[in-house]
C-alpha cells in the first residue's frame, strides 16, 4: 500500500464543521487569543456566504504535519477588500511560509481558486498584491497569469486573472478611490476581524499613539463587506492607519516602525 506524505496530500478544506479541529492556520498557536476568537466568530457567517479556506499540511494535536500555507477566498459580492469585483472570485489571503516556499504549494492553492471560479461561472479571480506586509507580491501573481487593473500607493495593486475577457474589470471601491486624504485630522485606524493579527496590530498602534501624544485617535470598526468598500482607504481593506490625511501603514507596525512612519508623515 502506497502512503502519501502530508507534503503531497491534497490541501485540507476548512469548514464550519471542522474548523475547531483543523484551525484556520493563522494564530493557530494562540487559539484562546482575542484575535483568533474574533476571526473564529467572523467565520461563522462567512462560510454561509461561500467563503472557502484550503490549507497545505494538517494539524495533529499540537504539531503541524507537512507544508505550511493557506488560501482564503470568497465570491466578490462578499469580499472584505476595498474593491468592486462582484463578478469575480476574490482571494483574501494566499500565504505559504518558511521552508514550504518554492515547492509548488502556492500554485496548488491557486489552482483550487481557478477551478472553482470556472465551475461557478465567475469572470475570473482577483487579489490585492503588495510588496510587503500581509499580502502576496505582484510579481507572484504576474507569474501566475494575473495582470494589474488598478494601483495605489504604497505599491499596492489590484490583480486579475481573467476567465471572461468581456466582463467589466474589477475596480477600486469608494473608500479606496477617495484614499487617505478623506481623513485629514489626527489618527484613524481601520480594523476588521477578517485577519486575526489585526487585534494585536491595533493595540500596538494605539499604545504608540498615546506615547507620542497623538490626538485625536479614532478607531473605525469595519463590520461588513460593505463597510470595507465604503470606508477603508486602501484596497487591502481590513486594516490600515491614516495620520493627518496620509497613509501611515496598511500592515502591522512594530513600535520602531511606527516611529519611522510618523516621522515620514510629519517630516
2-26 pLDDT, tens per residue?
Answer: 333 445 568 999 999 999 988 898 9
Given this model, what pLDDT does residue 3 score?
A: 37
Residue reference for cell 474548523: 19
Q: Which DSSP state fits 89?
A: E
User: In terms of DSSP bridges, do strands 156-162 and 83-84 run parallel, antiparallel, or are they unpaired?
Assistant: unpaired
Quote the pLDDT of residue 57.
Answer: 79
pLDDT cut 70: percent of the chain above it: 93
67 and 198 inside one domain: no
CATH code, domain carrying 72: 3.40.630.30
Q: Tell me the pLDDT tens digit for each residue of 49-73.
A: 999 999 997 777 666 777 788 999 9
Q: Which strand (E) or helix (H) includes residue 209?
A: helix 198-212
Question: In sequence order, which residues have a C-beta less than 8 Å from that of residue 50 and are 6 or more positions away?
Answer: 74, 75, 78
Q: What is the pLDDT of residue 2?
A: 36
Under-70 pLDDT residues of the chain: 1-9, 61-63, 98-100, 102, 133
212-222 per-residue burial string, b: 16 or more CB within 10 A, e: under 16: eebeeeeebeb
How many domains is the chain partitioned into structurally? 2
The pLDDT of residue 184: 81
Q: Domain limits at 150? A: 12-174
Task: Give the per-residue pLDDT at 5.
Answer: 42
Domain end, chosen from 174, 194, 226, is at: 174
Interatomic CA distance for residues 172 and 156, integer angstroms: 11
Helix (H) or strand (E) run with residue 72 in it: strand 63-75
250 and 164, same domain (yes or no): no
Amino acid at each position: 500500500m502506497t502512503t502519501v506524505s502530508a507534503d503531497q496530500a491534497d490541501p485540507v478544506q476548512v469548514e464550519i464543521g471542522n474548523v475547531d479541529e483543523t484551525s484556520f492556520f493563522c494564530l493557530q498557536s494562540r487559539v484562546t487569543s482575542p484575535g483568533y476568537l474574533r476571526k473564529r466568530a467572523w467565520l461563522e457567517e462567512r462560510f454561509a456566504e461561500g467563503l472557502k479556506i484550503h490549507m497545505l499540511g494538517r494539524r495533529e494535536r499540537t504539531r503541524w504535519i507537512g507544508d505550511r500555507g493557506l488560501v482564503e477566498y470568497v465570491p466578490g459580492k462578499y469580499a472584505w477588500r476595498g474593491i468592486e469585483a462582484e463578478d469575480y472570485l476574490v482571494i483574501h489571503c494566499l500565504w505559504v511560509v518558511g521552508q514550504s516556499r518554492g515547492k509548488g504549494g502556492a500554485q496548488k492553492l491557486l489552482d483550487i481558486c481557478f477551478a472553482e471560479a470556472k465551475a461557478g461561472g465567475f469572470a475570473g479571480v482577483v487579489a490585492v498584491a503588495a510588496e510587503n506586509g500581509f499580502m502576496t507580491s505582484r510579481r507572484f501573481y504576474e507569474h501566475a497569469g494575473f495582470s494589474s487593473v488598478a494601483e495605489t500607493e504604497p505599491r499596492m495593486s489590484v490583480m486579475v486573472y481573467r476567465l471572461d475577457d468581456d466582463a467589466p474589470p474589477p475596480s477600486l471601491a469608494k473608500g479606496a478611490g477617495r484614499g487617505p486624504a478623506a481623513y485629514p485630522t489626527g489618527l484613524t485606524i481601520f480594523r476588521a476581524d477578517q485577519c486575526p493579527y489585526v487585534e494585536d496590530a491595533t493595540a500596538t498602534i494605539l499604545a504608540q499613539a498615546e506615547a507620542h501624544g497623538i490626538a485625536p485617535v479614532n478607531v473605525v470598526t469595519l463590520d461588513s463587506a460593505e463597510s470595507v468598500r465604503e470606508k477603508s482607504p486602501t484596497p487591502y481593506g481590513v486594516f490600515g492607519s491614516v495620520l493627518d490625511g496620509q497613509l501611515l501603514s496598511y500592515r502591522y507596525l512594530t513600535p520602531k516602525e511606527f516611529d519611522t512612519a510618523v516621522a515620514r508623515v510629519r517630516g
